[in-house]
């Protein structure tokens, strides 16, 4: 299965995407994770992306299209993939459609995670992430050890500061919300669009997500 996760920052795409990929036995591609790794390694791609990311702005489309092409052509992605936050603008949706067509593949479904802004701001404002494996935590203090990998330390993401959070929510409304319309308009010929209520316990949201794809 090839699934695209769409939704505002803080809706749980990363957490649910990881679970979904594990359950389906396919890899997860998160452009945010790829870009953060590039920033950490100091590659030219990372250096170019860092300023945009720190401010909470979207990274330019050509960078994202490059990541899509490179990753989707890998043999690991052949039998399916969970695409987390990979498409955030209409040109990226068009680009993904082109890349998939070139590979002779199709998206099966677009999963849209919905949560009100107050909930997103609360989650992002209280979020820490592991500086080693990237696992996100809500309400766990910075400086403590990551339970998942046991190696990293929990830190605050720079783009989880109030001003960057505001920017990311604005970017979602302006640039990513139209992507939903783009997929909805093509639903009859392409991927099914399903909505998931992303408010609630993590396990409960996972159940809703699996049900939405008939699993
Ligand atoms: P995330 O980890 O999904 O919250 O993404 C963190 C940041 O990476 C975003 O705020 C953007 O700056 C950048 N980013 C990730 N994916 C994309 C994308 N598909 N298009 C543009 N920027 C992206």
Over residues 149-172, the mean pLDDT reads 96
Over residues 25-46, the mean pLDDT reads 96
Assess whether 13 carries a catalytic annotation.
yes
Domain ranges of the chain: 2-26+79-115+173-212
Q: What is the pLDDT of residues 61-97, one digit of tens each?
A: 999 999 999 999 999 999 999 999 999 999 999 999 9
The mean pLDDT value of the chain amounts to 96
Least confident of 58-62, 120-124, 187-191: 187-191
Find the length of the chain: 215
Pocket test for ligand 1, best of 48, 50, 58 (most atoms within 8 A of CB): 58
Q: Output the pLDDT for position 13.
A: 96
pLDDT band per the 50, 70, 90 thresholds, residue 117: very high
Assess whether 157 carries a catalytic annotation.
yes
85: DSSP letter = S
Report the candidate in 156, 209, 215, 166 with the shortest Cα–Cα distance to residue 13: 209
**Of all residues in the chain, what percent carry a pLDDT higher than 70?**
100
Q: Output the pLDDT for position 89.
A: 98
| Three-class DSSP category at 10 | coil
Question: Rounded to an integer, what is the distance from CA 102 to the centroid of its chain?
Answer: 23
Q: Give the C-alpha separation, 144 to 135, whole Å.
A: 13
State in Å: Cα 34 to ligand 1 middle: 9
- Strand-pairing partners, residue 127, are 138
CATH number, span 2-26+79-115+173-212? 3.40.50.300
pTM higher than 0.85, yes or no? yes
Assess whether 55 carries a catalytic annotation.
no
Location of structure tokens 């649910």: 16
Q: Is the CB of 52 under 6 A from ligand 1?
A: yes
Q: Output the pLDDT for position 51.
A: 97
- Strand-pairing partners, residue 21, are none
**Of all residues in the chain, what percent carry a pLDDT higher than 90?**
97
Over residues 39-48, the mean pLDDT reads 95
Q: Give the C-alpha separation, 76 to 67, whole Å.
A: 15
158: DSSP letter = G
- Strand-pairing partners, residue 17, are none
Question: Burial level of 11, CB count in 10 A (0-12/13-18/19+)?
Answer: buried
Q: Do residues 180 and 112 make contact, with C-beta atoms less than 8 angstroms apart?
A: yes
State in Å: Cα 103 to ligand 1 middle: 24
Over residues 32-43, the mean pLDDT reads 96
pLDDT band per the 50, 70, 90 thresholds, residue 151: very high
Secondary structure (DSSP) of 53-83: HHHTPPPPHHHHHHHHHHHHTSGGGSS-EEE
State in Å: Cα 80 to ligand 1 middle: 22
Report the candidate in 8, 32, 206, 186 with the shortest Cα–Cα distance to residue 112: 8
Assess whether 2 carries a catalytic annotation.
no
Q: What is the pLDDT of residues 192-208, one digit of tens each?
A: 999 999 999 999 999 99
């Amino acid at each position: 299965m090839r699934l695209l996760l769409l939704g505002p920052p803080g809706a749980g795409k990363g957490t649910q995407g990881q679970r979904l990929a594990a359950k389906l036995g396919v890899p997860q591609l998160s452009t945010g994770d790829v870009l953060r790794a590039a920033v950490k390694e100091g590659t030219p791609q990372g250096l170019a992306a860092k300023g945009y990311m720190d401010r909470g702005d979207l990274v330019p489309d050509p960078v994202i299209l490059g990541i899509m092409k490179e990753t989707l052509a890998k043999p690991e992605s052949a039998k399916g993939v969970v695409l987390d936050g990979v498409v955030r603008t209409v040109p990226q949706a068009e680009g993904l459609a082109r890349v998939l067509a070139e590979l002779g593949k199709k998206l099966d479904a677009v999963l849209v995670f919905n949560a009100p802004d107050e909930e997103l701001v609360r989650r992002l404002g209280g979020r820490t992430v592991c500086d080693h494996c990237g696992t996100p935590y809500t309400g766990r203090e910075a400086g403590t050890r990551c339970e998942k990998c046991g190696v990293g330390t929990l830190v605050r993401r720079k783009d989880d500061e109030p001003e960057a959070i505001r920017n990311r929510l604005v970017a979602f409304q302006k640039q990513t919300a139209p992507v939903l319309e783009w997929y909805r308009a093509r639903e009859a010929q392409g991927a099914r669009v399903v909505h998931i209520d992303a408010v609630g316990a993590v396990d409960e949201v996972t159940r809703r997500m699996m049900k939405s794809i008939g699993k």
